[in-house]
Structure 1
Amino acid sequence: MSDALPPETTIATWTIPRVSGDPLTIDSAVGEVITVVGANGAGKSALATYIAGQTPTGKLHRVLAQRKIWFAASGPNISASGREQMVNNLNYWNTAIDSRFLDHADGQRTDITLFDLLGKIAAEDQRIAELVLTERRTPEEIEAIIGTRLFDVLNSVLEKAGLVIRVKITDKQTFMAVHRELGNEYPIAQMSDGERSALLLAAEVLVAPDNCIILLDEPERHLHRSISAGLVEALIDSRTDCAFVVLTHDLDLALGLSARPGKVLAALGVNWSENTIAGWDINEFSTEADLTENARRAILGGRKRILFIEGTTDSLDYALYSLLFPAWTLSASGNCEWVIRSVEGIKKTQSHHWVDAAGIVDGDGRSQQERDALITKGIHPIKVSEVESLYYMPAVLTAVATKFTQLDGKDTEQRVCAAKAAGIAALASNQGLHRIAKKLATDEVSRKLVTAVPSEITDPKITFNLPSPYAEIRARLDELHAGDNYEELVRIASIRDSAFRDRVAAALGAQSKEQYQSVARRAIAESPALIAELRLEVADQLFDRSDH
């Protein structure tokens, strides 16, 4: 680019009004990317319009979110004079307040993009002809002056995005798509929606003026997720003379862009006063913070209260905690270690974000001292051994039995008694109490070994002397079993590794444990009292902080 600005040159500075009353000042510099992440309705397109209106004329190239991706012909349907007449209109429409949802030039933008692409290619060809015929330059000199040909850049970008097509120009000044593997050709008007969207987005960026700010509003729209991130990053690499502003709700794209020089902003919402914006709920996020990927995703997703839990979004944890803590945004983090790391990372980096975080992990037989240590870190061990146990607490058991009784008229109390007896028998069968005691003892010793490891090790041999808790745990289990103490057995036993759930579900009349658990969630959702009781089994302090 002949007029390229030096690196980090600021093209524009924007002062964004915020609902907090403290404006956010942002510089847009060459070689940097400002990434704005937010859900639909968070004010991203309104922010794009505001930025367009605050940028010097000629220094911003805007690609609208509601861009049209179809065209009737495979070449520009506009004349040079028509293109010239559109310049002022486009500058006005791109900054108009209704451009956040309306494109006044939707019938012309694709033609203009194709026209400008052809024009840039023709100008490049003309310059090469001058270098060859007039200045008698060698091929090496021409390559040094021109650099990579624009058309080669375009096809390289499409390839890096994972598309199997390249584009070529016919002698009639139209564009053809060529399948890289099969070799068949077809007019670009016949490309798929994703291919057309990728081509037009790439062309829009490549024909943008030198040293400008390229504003991409939801570039992932009309693109498959496997394509969008690679395409956008390849386009940014192709225009190192420009600054970029990317507004997106694609967290994968945002995470990739966050590794580049620039800033990441999370938009949570926008306040309007009639047709005027009063301010955005928007904050800057430091990408240097020591955070797990789950924590980064939650923060970039614009969440204010994040509850990290074990398991996946398909697990029993997620389904139950969604009912118990609706005021929190859940983030399934896999195992206990990752829950702890995510919460600790967020709490240690409060100055880099604006969210509140907590975690829930299984009880796993932890001592009160272990529980208290985790709670001080914002991690709440549930009061039962594992999340499955919550589904089979007596109050839930009774609620589910009542549901089945409403269908067949059988006695609810008898149903509950039979289910409890079946559960107790299942835990004790086939040396079940021995296995439960062995697991609880092993878990307890494992945790004690971790805490017993010295901070510095210099001796050639280290000896650990830990008493086995097995006998005490087994005696307690035998006592509970002899007393038919269903509730306490459910609290401390690992029921997921036994026939307990299947036997209890069958005794109640359920076809499977999955059906029982589904009915249990429905019963919980319909009972505020049951929700309150289970919340207290999960986390007293978390319940106190929840909106309810």
Structure 2
Amino acid sequence: MRFKIILPNKAGQQGVETKQTDNNMVIVGANGAGKTRFGVWIEQKLQEQITVHRISAQKALNIPDYATIKPLEQAEKELLYGDTSETGISWTKTNRRWGGNPTTFLLNDFDKLLTLLFAKTSERDSVHTKQTRETQTYIPVPDAPIDIIIKIWTELMPHRIISFLDGKVLIKKQGAKNDYHGKEMSDGERVILYLIGQCLCAPDNSIIIIDEPEVHIHRSIVPKLWNKIEELCSNKLLIYITHDLEFAASRTDALKLWIKSYNGNDSWEWDEVPEEEQLPENLLLEIIGNRKNVIFCEGDKGSLDTSVYELVYPNFHIIPRGNGEKVVEATKALRNNQNLHHLNAFGITDSDYKEEEEKAALLANGIHTLSVAEIESLFCIEPILRIIAEHLELNPDEIVEQVIDFLINSLKAEYDVQVSSKAEKLIEYKLGAYSKKSNDEKGLADGLTETLSRIDVSQVYNDCKIIFDRAIANKNLQQLLLIYNRKSLPDRISGLFGLGKGQYGKLLIRLLKGSRQQEITDALKVYLPQLG
């Protein structure tokens, strides 16, 4: 079914926007962007034209001992509008359902929901009994919302058996003999029951606005729950308001709106989530879901890279992208996306044998290169070595000398591997400059011939040897850390500090998050890019 939605002017000016959609909607935005107020605005603009049932994030989950038995019509009005008043939909909902404050009012209507669920079952039973008596034949019993809830519940949480009896919600552990009252359920179980019931009880062809659809629910259940609800509410429009970007990305067919800012007085700046081939939607949502400029880095969430950058660059949003190629790809894509021009993006990659020419090309696109081979090597820079030595009451000068000697001996032991690996990276970079000379077979061959002619393997190899030999001869720690490509260096120098294998890095992380955080952060900043 196609729904007509009225939205505020997207530029924050007077007037409204109208959208026609067959798909559900997701509204995302940073904290403070006015997402809840946005949902309230939609409800108030549409509620006189179509039933709009909004489920707020601020809600009590108090399950009563018994549901009050009421007529269906009365129960439905009390759930949807908060009262049976004939004053008018807008006034009744605002003052009865929302207590005069629809944005922040604590919704406490679990009792009304259960009353309506039992009323719908009673109505179903009454109608079915009447039809059976009139026809004197068997008529299949249609599912009431309670029956549907039991089926969904069983699919999602087979370890708990739910039943509805004599106005009560009862729960039983799988295999147990005795039931316990629904008010003893966990927050997650209660909110699942609440959300399924609310969506099923909303009238057909209505709009349901759900604020924070993921709260209290385990991440593994959230997408399954809403997939099932969407399947059963296919003739209703669901509008999700969320800051859970993983959930937003899971609504693959939904129209996604991004609220940039709230200007007060029912004025927002918003847009549809832009499409960007080089940036997956879940990454785009993460980017627009924060207010900070972005740094793309190597590694994964929770990795060393992320931990270090979050401490050194507190005013940036750090997004790990796995490897250097993805860092480059994401940084270029975001910087070139006109829809996200208000956000500045930077990339930081490991040096990883890169030549100055390659580093300059990356820098032109906002991608900075570390002054050491790998981020792990930052833990071996002289200021950090001295901090750890002082903490362990060792002689810093002696420790620095021992680390330099260790690096030189280790590098000599794998000299051929390191030199050839650096030469290999340089040759790969030069091969990347290949381009055809013309649009035919000869052009392809000529382009390759020309590219290969520019690569003197002997010269490349000898140049790399000179760089390594100079660093070894100079006993220069900074040069050694730049060319020696080994992620395991912090672990391997643990013994020089009298620590067990791998304990040096762990100690540094503890200090980085504790008593010497500022001192270590200041030392790292000297070796990391200065980003504006």
TM over 0.5: yes
- Kindly indicate whether the alpha-carbon contact (under 8 Å) linking 1:52 and 1:95 is maintained by their aligned counterparts in 2: no
SS of the aligned residue for 1:226 comes to coil
- Kindly indicate whether the alpha-carbon contact (under 8 Å) linking 1:16 and 1:23 is maintained by their aligned counterparts in 2: yes
The answer for the alignment partner of 1:392 in structure 2 is: 380
- Kindly indicate whether the alpha-carbon contact (under 8 Å) linking 1:32 and 1:260 is maintained by their aligned counterparts in 2: yes
- Kindly indicate whether the alpha-carbon contact (under 8 Å) linking 1:427 and 1:495 is maintained by their aligned counterparts in 2: no
The answer for the alignment partner of 1:3 in structure 2 is: none
The answer for the alignment partner of 2:84 in structure 1 is: 87
The answer for the alignment partner of 2:407 in structure 1 is: 426
What aligned pairs does 1:200-349 form with structure 2 within 5 A after superposition? 200-257=194-251, 259-262=252-255, 264-267=256-259, 269-272=261-264, 277=265, 279-280=267-268, 282-286=270-274, 289-292=277-280, 295-349=283-337
The answer for the alignment partner of 1:25 in structure 2 is: 17
Distance of 1:289 and 1:26 partners within structure 2: 27
What aligned pairs does 1:31-430 form with structure 2 within 5 A after superposition? 31-57=22-48, 59-73=51-65, 75-77=66-68, 79-80=70-71, 83=75, 86-88=83-85, 89-94=92-97, 98-103=101-106, 106=108, 109-129=109-129, 131-134=131-134, 150-162=145-157, 164-170=159-165, 172-177=166-171, 185-257=179-251, 259-262=252-255, 264-267=256-259, 269-272=261-264, 277=265, 279-280=267-268, 282-286=270-274, 289-292=277-280, 295-351=283-339, 355-398=343-386, 403-404=390-391, 408=393, 415-416=396-397, 418-429=399-410
Distance of 2:503 and 2:155 partners within structure 1: 51
- What percent of counterpart residues are identical? 23
For 1:228-248, what per-residue CA distance to the aligned partner results, in whole angstroms no more than 9, with x for missing partners?
222122212211111111112
SS of the aligned residue for 2:403 comes to helix
Q: Alpha-carbon deviation of 1:442? A: 3.1
The answer for the alignment partner of 2:88 in structure 1 is: none
Q: Alpha-carbon deviation of 1:163? A: 5.2
Q: How many residues align?
A: 507
Taking structure 2 as the reference length, what is the TM-score of the superposition?
A: 0.81
Which of 445, 449, 452 aligns to 2:427? It is 445
Distance of 2:440 and 2:282 partners within structure 1: 33
- Kindly indicate whether the alpha-carbon contact (under 8 Å) linking 2:494 and 2:503 is maintained by their aligned counterparts in 1: no
- Kindly indicate whether the alpha-carbon contact (under 8 Å) linking 1:291 and 1:342 is maintained by their aligned counterparts in 2: yes
- Kindly indicate whether the alpha-carbon contact (under 8 Å) linking 1:525 and 1:531 is maintained by their aligned counterparts in 2: no
- Kindly indicate whether the alpha-carbon contact (under 8 Å) linking 2:120 and 2:144 is maintained by their aligned counterparts in 1: no
- Kindly indicate whether the alpha-carbon contact (under 8 Å) linking 2:209 and 2:238 is maintained by their aligned counterparts in 1: yes
Taking structure 1 as the reference length, what is the TM-score of the superposition?
A: 0.79
Change (3 A) 1:500 1:49: closer
For 1:230-272, what per-residue CA distance to the aligned partner results, in whole angstroms no more than 9, with x for missing partners?
2122212211111111112222211112x1242x223455445
Distance of 2:322 and 2:359 partners within structure 1: 20
Letter of the structure 2 residue corresponding to residue 307 of structure 1: I
SS of the aligned residue for 2:57 comes to coil
Distance of 1:223 and 1:336 partners within structure 2: 35
Change (3 A) 1:500 1:234: closer
The answer for the alignment partner of 1:4 in structure 2 is: none
TM-align CA RMSD: 3.9
Change (3 A) 1:59 1:513: closer
1:533 and 2:526 are equivalent in the alignment = yes
Which of 495, 502, 507 aligns to 1:515? It is 507
Q: Alpha-carbon deviation of 1:355? A: 3.4
For 1:358-402, what per-residue CA distance to the aligned partner results, in whole angstroms no more than 9, with x for missing partners?
21111112122222332333322223322123333344445555x
Distance of 1:513 and 1:130 partners within structure 2: 76
Change (3 A) 1:523 1:365: farther
